[in-house]
């Protein structure tokens, strides 16, 4: 997504090297104890993000209401700064949705514990996500993912491999995808393991090496151009 944006701004320049963001794999793969109150046999679905419209929480609540009807033993954990808006409260009240826990912002250590306490990670963002750090966090924690099929997410997540992709703003499709993972613990485990293997390439060590290699290449090309100009 970032590369496409730059290409639109600088259409005459075709030389781009795209280096992704990195992640502290050690932090999110740490084996911390899950939060005891959520280890009661329910399937925990985790949302992490600011409570703003484009993060898609209300789409998730629509999907969760459908899911809860057929799978009473699910729970939704909402982690992130901000306050639920009036529409959020209206959806919860009108559809009488149970087991939705608004946690608010948490410390980095507590965030890892929420990942460890979850069984499925869901990010239903509606657009304007250039990358998707939260997807990498979930993969590092070994969790299967259900996410929107938007540019930044499709770059990281292969549908059916580390998780499932659904059309953005489609509560029914989101509910169906979540249901597949709620019903199949083996599939959850397999997707989580594949995500954990995939995310290794985004360690800060590897990303830093790519940045260093790029600087070395740019200096080499600059020096070569200087030699040609002098001759």
Least confident residue range of 10-14, 115-119, 181-185: 10-14
Higher pLDDT, 5 or 166: 166
Higher pLDDT, 21 or 51: 51
Ordered domains of the chain (ranges, CATH): 2-11+20-204 (3.40.50.2000)
Residues 6+ apart with CB under 8 A from 157: 132, 135, 145, 147, 163, 165
d(CA 87, CA 6): 36
Q: Which of 192, 193, 215, 211 is nearest to 202 (CA)?
A: 211
Q: Dihedrals φ, ψ of 79, to 5°?
A: -115, 125
For CA atoms 195, 132, 147, 58, give the dihedral sign. positive
Query: Is the model's pLDDT at 43 over the cut of 90?
Result: yes
Query: Is the model's pLDDT at 4 over the cut of 60?
Result: no
175 with 63: CB under 8 angstroms?
Answer: yes
Q: What is the dihedral of CA 117, 118, 124, 130, to 10 degrees?
A: 60
**Predicted local confidence at residue 226, as pLDDT:** 72
- The model's confidence at residue 207, banded by pLDDT at 50, 70 and 90, is confident
**Predicted local confidence at residue 84, as pLDDT:** 92
CB-based burial, 62-84: b 16+ in 10 Å, e otherwise: bbbbbbbeebeebbbbbbbeeeb
**3-state SS, residue 144:** coil
Q: Which of 26, 29, 17, 3 is nearest to 204 (CA)?
A: 26
- The model's confidence at residue 102, banded by pLDDT at 50, 70 and 90, is very high
The residue-averaged pLDDT of 116-143 equals: 94
d(CA 50, CA 80): 5
d(CA 64, CA 210): 40
């Amino acid at each position: 997504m970032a590369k496409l944006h730059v290409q639109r701004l600088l259409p005459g320049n075709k030389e781009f090297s795209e280096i992704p963001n990195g992640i502290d794999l050690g932090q999110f793969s740490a084996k911390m104890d899950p939060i005891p109150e959520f280890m009661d046999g329910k399937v925990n679905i985790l949302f992490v993000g600011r409570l703003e419209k484009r993060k898609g929480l209300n789409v998730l609540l629509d999907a969760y209401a459908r899911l809860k009807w057929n799978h009473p033993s699910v729970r939704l954990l909402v982690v992130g700064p901000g306050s639920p808006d009036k529409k959020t409260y209206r959806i919860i009240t009108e559809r009488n949705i149970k087991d939705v826990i608004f946690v608010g912002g948490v410390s980095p250590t507590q965030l890892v514990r929420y990942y460890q306490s979850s069984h499925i990670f869901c990010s239903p963002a509606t657009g304007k996500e250039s990358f998707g750090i939260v997807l990498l966090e979930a993969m590092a924690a070994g969790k299967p993912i259900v996410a929107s099929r938007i540019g930044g997410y499709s770059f990281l997540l292969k549908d059916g491999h580390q998780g499932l992709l659904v059309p953005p703003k489609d509560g029914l499709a989101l509910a169906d995808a979540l249901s597949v993972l709620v019903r199949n613990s083996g599939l959850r485990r397999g997707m989580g393991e594949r995500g954990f293997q995939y995310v290794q390439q985004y360690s800060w060590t590897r990303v830093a090496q790519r940045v260093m290699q790029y600087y070395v290449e740019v200096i080499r090309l600059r020096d070569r151009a200087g030699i040609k100009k002098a001759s």
